[in-house]
Structure formats: structure tokens, C-alpha cells
Amino acid sequence: MHPGNNLTRDEARRRAALIQTPLYDISLDLTRDSDSFTCEATIHFLCQEPGAESFIDFLAPSVDSCELNGAEVAKEAFNGARIKLGNLRDANELHVLGTCAYQNVGAGLCRFTDPVDHKIYLHSQFETFDAHRMFPCFDQPDLKASFTFTVLAPNDWIVVSNNPGQAQQVAGKENIKRWTFGATPKMSSYLTAIVAGPYHGVRDRHGDVDLGLFCRQSLAQYLDPDEIFTVTKQGLDFYGQAYKYPYPFQKYDQLFVPEFSAGAMENIGCVTFNESMVFRSKVTEAVREDRANAILHEMAHMWFGDLVTMRWWDDLWLNESFATFMSVLAQVEATRFKNGWVTFANQYKAGARRQDQLPTTHPIAADVPDIESVYLNLPACCGSWSPTSDRTPFSVACSATSNSVSMPTPRSRTFSPTSKPDPVETSRPGQSSGSRPRA
């Protein structure tokens, strides 16, 4: 990690008091056959205190040009992770052209080459603080904004984002299409998403909502859209009634993406899932229940988490615990998986009570003075929507994971070197077979 790539709660509060109504116009060129892509961003925003100084987050190998209100910003203003912005006006226009790096660490815009057919697939993963690996932004949940994305991509790719997209051939470049996505509703930067590549897609519709399922082509034969669409439709109906608010966004795409670092992620209208939920062999009913729960967990966030969002990461526990509660409720009330509460009692509640006996227990509403602290407190925000349930903390993203594939557990990050790991925890059978999603 870049040493300067952090954001404190105090900085975020100061910035939220200063900066208002940012509008982002983001153009990405994904046609370069290299480890990098270009990002051109035009950002309009208001400032409460003319003359004040602030900064915008941008973790990129280089800023190729930067202008604030028509004046060039000095190269020294960019430290590799943020750009200092001085002498702000009431209304500001920032223009940044940067070169960004594809990632393979599960954060930012991730690039994967399929070993089966050598096709290239991209997906983004931004929670908690990684949107600024793809474009410059005020990367904190309470500075909600409208985002307009434009993406240049190879001809045979599809590009999926939060809003529906339209593709047009680029004049004079028959191998390239330009994808445009209309301005999003106001939303947090960590919930924006771009998924791109020659994905296999299946479409359906439920009421007014367009539905899509996507996976890489080499997995298309294993995708079972019928069951996934059935749970999706049952969930949309249930939540629309339970929240007394119809599905708040324009469409609902679900994408199984390769090398995904979490279990699933609730990007608005563009939910990403770990590929382990595309079943390549016969699985147990428990694993299917696991996947249904993950689908419903992410969907619950569309209302609670996405439409309504925590101001800062110390309320991540509430965001996650409520989605977990709603997902089990929806599962039992609206789908064929009627044993949800039994599974919850065994897999979550028992683990929570066990962990509450340990000296490592802590408040569920944790003190999160900066982004680094979110990661240090993974058991609180990921493992414990029940306060201390067992989970595999791949990421602070919604790590709803099917356990049909055993995955590494970076547990050492979550305990101090001096704490004694619970032997029951480290050998829990559910880590490798058939437990419910960790969401």
C-alpha cells in the first residue's frame, strides 16, 4: 500500500463540511494492451469556504495533467495517493488526466486473464477506500455524488456499470466501442462499479426491473440462471414490500467475476459475486442455501447501505448486520430455503456467543479513526453483524462466500500477535464445507 493512502475520520469530516455536491464525469480507456489504463475526470464541486484548501484522493502511477479552475496544478501537489487542491472557489471545476494501474489484489480495477481461453476480464472492487484507484474522487461514503461513466473497450466486450449502458462504434476504429452510462443518482463512491470483458450474459425482467446474470465464457456451461433469477425475483418482491419502497435503481445485474477478493459486493445495480457460486459440480442443498443468502444479502443493501448509507465506517457493523438479518428473513419468508434461521443459529449465533467469551471481544460499534482501522477491526465489521460471528474476512466488502470452494483465511490480520487464537475457530468445519455465506 502507498504510505500516504489513508483517510482519517477527522479529514473526512473536515472535507464533508467543506465540499458539496460533487459531480463526476469519468472517461476510461480500457483498450490499451498493458498493465495500465487512462482515466480522464472532470469534477465539479462547491466549496463552503472560498480560499480554503482540500484534497482529492487518487492512487495512480501518474497524473499526466491536472487543472483546477483553468489553472495548472503543480506536480508536487500529487503525492501518489492524493492531489492537494488550494485556493478553492465557491464553484470549482477540476480536470485530471491520469494513468491508472490494473490490480490483481482484489481492490481497484482488477484484471484477469482466463487460463482456459486467454480472454481478459475486468471488475472493480472499491469498498472501503479503493474507488480512487480507478478515478480521482472524494472517496468517503458521505460525499455522495452523481457519476457519469464513459468507457472505451474492445469491440467484443460488454461493459456493465451502475446504470444501463449503451455502446456505439468509435468512428474510424472498428475494433473499439464507446460505452456511455447516464448520470447515476446520488451515491457513495465505494458503490460505483465497472465490470468489463467478453462476459457471457443472460437477461430477464421482473416488473419494471431489467435483470442480468454474467460470468466468463468458460464458465457459461455451469451457470444456472433459473434458480438465481427465481431467488432474485422473490427477493425483489419481498424487499419492495418489507421496506415499503420499490427497488430504487434502474436495473439489477449480478456478475460472477474471477479472482474476486470478497464473497460478494453490493455495487448499486451491479452486484459482483465470487465465482465459487457458479457450481462446477453437484453441490449440497446447504451450498445452494448459502448462495441464495448471498444474493438476498446484497439485494438488501440496495435499500439499506446503498440508498441510505452510513456517514463513516464506524457504522459498517450496522450496515452489515442489518443486511444479514434481512437476508435470512427474506430467505425464510419468500424462498424455498425455509431453514434460514436454523442455519443462522448454528453458524452465526453460536459463534457469536463463543467469541463473546474471549478477551478479544469488543463493541460492535467500533471506533474507526481512519481507513486502516476498518481493516484492523475486521471481526467487528465483517464477522459480526451478530457481534462476533465466525466468518472468513476476505475483505470488508460484503464477504458473502459460498464455501463450495475453500479459500484462504487472513485471520492473522484480525488478531494481535499476542492474542491466542481460539482453536475451535481455526478448525471450524464450516470454513471448508457447507456453512452459510458470510455476508
Give the residues lining the site for Zn ion (CB under 5 A). 320, 323, 398
- In the chain, the N- to C-terminal Cα span, in Å, equals 25
Least spacing, CB of residue 385 vs Zn ion, in Å:
8
Beta carbon nearer to Zn ion, 130 or 320? 320
Specify the residue for cell string 416488473.
Answer: 207
Least spacing, CB of residue 151 vs Zn ion, in Å:
26
Beta carbon nearer to Zn ion, 127 or 139? 127
Q: Are 323 and 398 in contact (CB under 8 A)?
A: yes
What are the strands of the beta sheet with 158-161, ordered from one edge?
108-113, 120-125, 194-197, 158-161
Beta carbon nearer to Zn ion, 157 or 249? 249
Least spacing, CB of residue 300 vs Zn ion, in Å:
8
Q: Are 297 and 305 in contact (CB under 8 A)?
A: no
Beta carbon nearer to Zn ion, 325 or 415? 325
- Among 333, 334, 332, smallest CA distance to 342 is for 332
Exposure string over 195-214, b if 16+ CB within 10 A, otherwise e: bbbbbbbeebebeebebbbb
What type of residue sits at position 165?
G
CA distance 336 to 11: 47
Least spacing, CB of residue 299 vs Zn ion, in Å:
10
Catalytic residue, chosen from 40, 298, 320, 425, is: 298
Least spacing, CB of residue 243 vs Zn ion, in Å:
16
- Among 331, 327, 300, 317, smallest CA distance to 396 is for 317
Q: Is 298 a catalytic residue?
A: yes
Q: Which residue lies nearest Zn ion, judged by its C-beta?
A: 398
Beta carbon nearer to Zn ion, 56 or 381? 381
Least spacing, CB of residue 382 vs Zn ion, in Å:
9
- Among 93, 139, 109, 138, smallest CA distance to 29 is for 109
Beta carbon nearer to Zn ion, 181 or 304? 304
Q: What's the farthest any 2 CA atoms get from each other in the chain?
A: 67
Least spacing, CB of residue 273 vs Zn ion, in Å:
12
Q: Counting beta carbons within 10 angstroms of the beta carbon of residue 432, is it exposed (0 to 12), middle (13 to 18) or buried (19 or more)?
A: middle
416: cell is: 494481535
Secondary structure element (H or E) that encloses residue 13, with its range: helix 9-18
Specify the residue for cell string 476504429.
Answer: 173
Beta carbon nearer to Zn ion, 134 or 398? 398
Exposure string over 318-352, b if 16+ CB within 10 A, otherwise e: bbbbbbbbbbbbbbbebbebeebeebbeebbeebb
- For residue 111, the cross-strand partners are 122
Q: Which positions are catalytic? A: 298
